[in-house]
Amino acid sequence: MRTLILFALVGLGAQLVDGSLGMAYGVTSTTLLLAVGASPAAASATVHLAEIGTTLVSGASHWRFGNVDWKVVAKIGIPGGVGAFAGATFLASLDTSVAAPLMSAILLVLGLYVLIRFTFRGLNKQNLGKPMRKRFLGPLGLVAGFVDATGGGGWGPVGTPAILASGRMEPRKVIGSIDTSEFIVALAASLGFLFSLGSQGIDATWVAGLLIGGVIAAPIAAWLVRHVPPRLLGSAVGGIIVFTNTRSLFNAFEVADAVRWPVYAVIVLGWVAAVVHSWRVYRADTEAESVEAAAKLEQERRDALVAELSRDDDAVTAGRPQAPRD
């Protein structure tokens, strides 16, 4: 029961992050499973089995709040499923001694990407509203699905920033569409692992815990996507992923303490600096938006006053007697 509760809490936290950022459920959950000793293939299989349920509920919740573009879901989700099945088959064929460092390295790169992406980059809005092209979404889904299955996560970290960078969709619709299409990816990856591994190494308690926590968090996350500052959350989660997987790589290659502790210190200091920077930028943006909103409201009041005075002048003019003509 203790294990079930622990993994339910992990699933809840990971889904809150994923539903708010459009990424990091798989990366966060797989990082934990590797830390407690699961094999890479079993860790990824466990997470993807749980994601079948969490992504289904998450997609329904995002649809309920109007965060889903179904055309994008179809264009990216189907190639994503193909890539995920291939990635699961590939990972299951690797020896554990090779697969573990490979997965940690992939997760480390994804963690760095999340950390840097949300700490330093804003949103490009120049192309907002333009349609997403199939020739862009198809290859993106194929690559993201393969990375997701081999790394135990990656659908969101690869897909979400790429679509955001295009500037063609609102952030909430990007996140909702990515989370919804992930159901296809999770199902395809799970089938790939089950065909390759059977149930070997998959703990039903772990799957149930991650599933329960994720299902509870999914509706909350779909609502929070409109209110949580993504920049701050992305910096915080990215730092956790980078630190944990750096530690896993050091353990795998038996790096000496004289090297690992200075690296840990640099990571933690950089992580804290990133979170502080994100918080300051968020506050500055919020204040700027407040000033802009106040100025807009004041201008609207002035325009209304000018219009009212103009109407009064017209009424006075209309009530004056006309001068007699000669």
The percentage of the chain sitting over the pLDDT mark of 90, rounded to a whole number, equals 5
Computed on alpha carbons and rounded to an integer, the radius of gyration of the chain in Å comes to 25
Provide the sign of the torsion angle of the four alpha carbons 149, 131, 113, 10, taken in this order.
Answer: negative
Predicted pLDDT at 278 = 85
| Geometric angle at alpha carbon 114, from 108 and 118, rounded to 5° | 155
Using CA atoms of 54, 55, 61, 67 in order, give the dihedral in degrees to the nearest 10.
150
Residue 270's pLDDT band (cuts 50, 70, 90) = very high
Instruction: Dig out the tokens for 90 from the structure.
Output: 């590939």
Lowest mean pLDDT among 98-102, 124-128, 239-243, 271-275: 124-128
Q: What is the pLDDT of residues 17-56, one digit of tens each?
A: 666 565 667 777 777 777 766 677 777 777 778 888 878 8
3-state secondary structure of 127: coil
For the segment 271-281, the average pLDDT, to the nearest whole number, is 88
Res 66 pLDDT > 90: no
Provide the sign of the torsion angle of the four alpha carbons 299, 304, 307, 312, taken in this order.
Answer: negative
**DSSP label at residue 322:** P
- Angstrom distance (rounded) from CA 52 to CA 20: 18
Res 269 pLDDT > 90: yes
Total number of residues shown for the chain = 326
Q: What are the two backbone dihedrals, phi and then psi, of residue 35, each rounded to the nearest 5 degrees?
A: -65, -30
Instruction: Dig out the tokens for 144 from the structure.
Output: 């993201």
Instruction: Dig out the tokens for 20 from the structure.
Output: 């708010």
For the segment 80-95, the average pLDDT, to the nearest whole number, is 83
Residue 265's pLDDT band (cuts 50, 70, 90) = very high
Instruction: Dig out the tokens for 249 from the structure.
Output: 């790589």
Lowest mean pLDDT among 66-80, 144-158, 271-285, 300-314: 300-314
Q: What are the two backbone dihedrals, phi and then psi, of residue 51, each rounded to the nearest 5 degrees?
A: -70, -20
Res 320 pLDDT > 70: no
Task: Count, in order, helices (H) and strands (E) of the chain.
Answer: 11, 0
Helix (H) or strand (E) holding 129, with range, is none
Rounded mean pLDDT of the chain? 75
Residue 216's pLDDT band (cuts 50, 70, 90) = confident
| Half-sphere CA count of 164, side-chain side, radius 13 A | 21
| CA neighbor of 171 nearest in space, from 299, 62, 279 | 62
Using CA atoms of 15, 20, 170, 141 in order, give the dihedral in degrees to the nearest 10.
-30
pTM: 0.61
Res 7 pLDDT > 90: no
Predicted pLDDT at 65 = 76
| CA neighbor of 147 nearest in space, from 177, 194, 122, 113 | 113
